[in-house]
Amino acid sequence: MLFRQAKWEEPIVFELSSFSKQTFLIDEEFANEASEALKRIPESLVRSSELKIPNLSEVEVVRHYNRLSQMSYGVDVGPVPLGSCTMKYNPKICEELASDPRVTELHPYQDEEEAQGILEIMYLMQRWLSEITGMDECSLQPPAGAAGEFVGALIIRKYHHDRGLNNKNEMIVPEAAHGSNPASSAMAGFKVVKIPTAPSGETDIEALKSVLSDNTAGLMLTNPNTLGIFESGIVEISDLIHEKSALMYYDGANLNGILGIVRPGDMGFDIVHLNLHKTFAAPHGGGGPGAGAVCVKKELIDYLPVPLVGFDGRSYKLRYDLSRTIGRVSWFYGNIVPIVKSFIYIAALGPALREVAEVSVLNTNYLMSKLRRMRGISLPYGENRWRKHEFVVSFENLLKETGVSAEDVAKALLDRGLHAPTIYFPLIVKEAHMIEVTETETKENIDRLAKAYEEIIELAYRDPQVIKSSPVNTSVKRLDVLVANHPRTLAPTYEHLRRLKSQEV
């Protein structure tokens, strides 16, 4: 499929016009009161520094940002097979309903009696997410997955502290885990102990046993893991951890591969976080907003962040009566808009949610079976194992034999109108491509992706320079990373750019 991305030499907004146009109209009904009040502002606090924000007419603003959007790429345009990101299709009905003013124009401090609709939705979400994960209660407050992990780590910390077990200061995390796992544990004051992955692709249980001690506070695990492989030893692992009076934490980023088929609660996990902007189809927004729920087993409900939504038989209320709460991880109650989108998604699918896991796993293994046979690609770890929602291949051989790297292959995919998968992660695989096509991908597109890989590899052996000079069909070609990061040419704002330009002259 031919692909040419739009290319506009779109000026930075500050350079769109040298004139000052009439901007968005603001009323002057209170001009008198304003000038009275202005006199009362202490002189040092009156704005004297220049506001260098351009003044443009509406059509210029619209065209500028529309043109910028044409030089971007999202799931609505083509596949974005990023591993562990679950970039699935965002149903439009979710978008439309969540933009209802009864959601967007509602103030968080509105009297609960007047917010019964949204509170009921939140309550149902707490229930549904508990059911999906096999847990007993959920908090919707964390604004993203990483924040959810942090909540989990804090809960573990407080739980042990309350039992006088302050020596429990070690959190065990697999080496292949998402980077936010150790960071969130560290934020909660834990020491992080990383354990290796065995050649089977599962966590090395012997290594785990070697570090388990009375100092172990918990184990953070995602299952299926970042290789897309199911930890079949999970029950044994869970028992080992519980024997040491430690807790099991589930990183829900990979839930898409097991929805409705296995539940983390049944695997033995005590705390779970979910990424609503992954598994539950809320859009990714170019880097956010997300929404991360945290679900726990009965014993830990009192530790959840406040408030939760409760129901007293008559109406829905915000509950602050959690006796051991870790406090607030954000102001207000959570990222409501993505929560509403996920609510619509789950409501619409109902029991068909299980189909999500079945098809995402089917799609993944189908693509994997095509890719693994290709020259230059190897499948490290568990070569005889089925994957679940994602798989990781290595281009190590391709690099050795042709000099074409995983990054080069990724750039060549862009040229074919396909967003690249995650590259160079997990770190336990060299020259990695971590691929997750999700259940919303068509067979045609999966075939197209496989064919693209095939073409790229064939070119790599025949004429590697072509691949190494991609992308050429995107808005721009490869960027100068040195200039971008060098202290002398660093430019994170327009002001920096301006100064650099004037220095050059």
Amino acid at site 442: T
Minimum separation from the CB atom of position 39 to another protein (A): 10
Assess contact for 228 and 183: CB atoms under 8 A.
no
Assess contact for 157 and 166: CB atoms under 8 A.
no
Pick 1 or 12: Cβ nearer another protein: 12
Assess contact for 361 and 388: CB atoms under 8 A.
yes
Task: Please report where in the chains the tokens 């920096």 appear, as a residue.
Answer: 496
Pick 317 or 419: Cβ nearer another protein: 419
Interface map 448-477 toward another protein (x if CB under 8 A): -----------------x--xx-x--xxxx
- For another protein, the binding residue among 4, 191, 372, 462 (CB under 8 A) is 191
Query: Which of 500, 488, 497 is closest to 15 using CA atoms?
Result: 497
Cβ-Cβ contacts under 8 Å for 396 (sequence gap 6 or more): 378, 430, 431
Q: Please choose, out of 145-153, 214-222, 295-303, 451-459, the segment that lies near another protein by the rule CB under 8 A.
A: 145-153
Q: Which of residues 252-271 bind another protein (CB under 8 A)?
A: 258, 260-263, 266-267
- For another protein, the binding residue among 138, 234, 309, 392 (CB under 8 A) is 234
Pick 424 or 455: Cβ nearer another protein: 424
Amino acid at site 210: S
Interface map 150-189 toward another protein (x if CB under 8 A): x--xx--x-----------------x---xx-xxx-xxxx
- For another protein, the binding residue among 420, 435, 457, 467 (CB under 8 A) is 420
Q: How many residues bind another protein (CB under 8 A)?
A: 230
Task: Please report where in the chains the tokens 């690609």 appear, as a residue.
Answer: 377
Pick 146 or 301: Cβ nearer another protein: 146
Distances 494 to 23, 458, 481, 497 between C-alpha atoms, Å:
21, 42, 18, 5
Task: Please report where in the chains the tokens 């839930």 appear, as a residue.
Answer: 255
- For another protein, the binding residue among 1, 4, 72, 373 (CB under 8 A) is 72
Work out whether 295 is an interface residue with another protein (CB under 8 A): no
Strands 391-394, 432-435: pairing kind: antiparallel
Minimum separation from the CB atom of position 243 to another protein (A): 18
Minimum separation from the CB atom of position 328 to another protein (A): 4
Minimum separation from the CB atom of position 321 to another protein (A): 15
Tokens of residue 339, six digits: 């929560």
Assess contact for 190 and 217: CB atoms under 8 A.
yes
Minimum separation from the CB atom of position 365 to another protein (A): 6
Minimum separation from the CB atom of position 410 to another protein (A): 7
Q: Please choose, out of 214-222, 243-251, 285-293, 296-304, the segment that lies near another protein by the rule CB under 8 A.
A: 285-293
Query: Which of 401, 463, 387 is closest to 431 using CA atoms?
Result: 401
Work out whether 230 is an interface residue with another protein (CB under 8 A): yes
Minimum separation from the CB atom of position 274 to another protein (A): 13
Q: Which of residues 426-445 bind another protein (CB under 8 A)?
A: 427, 430-431, 439-443
CA distance 234 to 238: 6
Q: Which of residues 80-139 bind another protein (CB under 8 A)?
A: 80, 82, 85, 87, 89-91, 93, 95, 97, 99-111, 114-118, 120-121, 127-128, 131-132, 134
Q: Which of residues 476-495 bind another protein (CB under 8 A)?
A: 476-487, 489-495
Work out whether 391 is an interface residue with another protein (CB under 8 A): no
Work out whether 41 is an interface residue with another protein (CB under 8 A): yes
Work out whether 284 is an interface residue with another protein (CB under 8 A): yes
Pick 115 or 457: Cβ nearer another protein: 115
Cβ-Cβ contacts under 8 Å for 292 (sequence gap 6 or more): 142, 143, 144, 145, 146, 147, 148, 149, 273, 274, 275, 276
CA distance 428 to 199: 10
Q: Which of residues 303-362 bind another protein (CB under 8 A)?
A: 305, 326-338, 344, 346-356, 358-359, 361-362
Cβ-Cβ contacts under 8 Å for 357 (sequence gap 6 or more): 256, 257, 258, 259, 260, 261, 388, 389, 439
Work out whether 18 is an interface residue with another protein (CB under 8 A): no
Strands 422-423, 432-435: pairing kind: antiparallel
Assess contact for 6 and 67: CB atoms under 8 A.
yes
Strands 292-296, 391-394: pairing kind: unpaired
Minimum separation from the CB atom of position 261 to another protein (A): 6
Q: Which conformational region is residue 493 in: left (phi greater than 0), alpha (psi within -120 to 50 degrees), or beta? A: beta
Query: Which of 310, 305, 343, 25 is closest to 155 using CA atoms?
Result: 305
Output DSSP code: residue 429: S
Work out whether 286 is an interface residue with another protein (CB under 8 A): yes
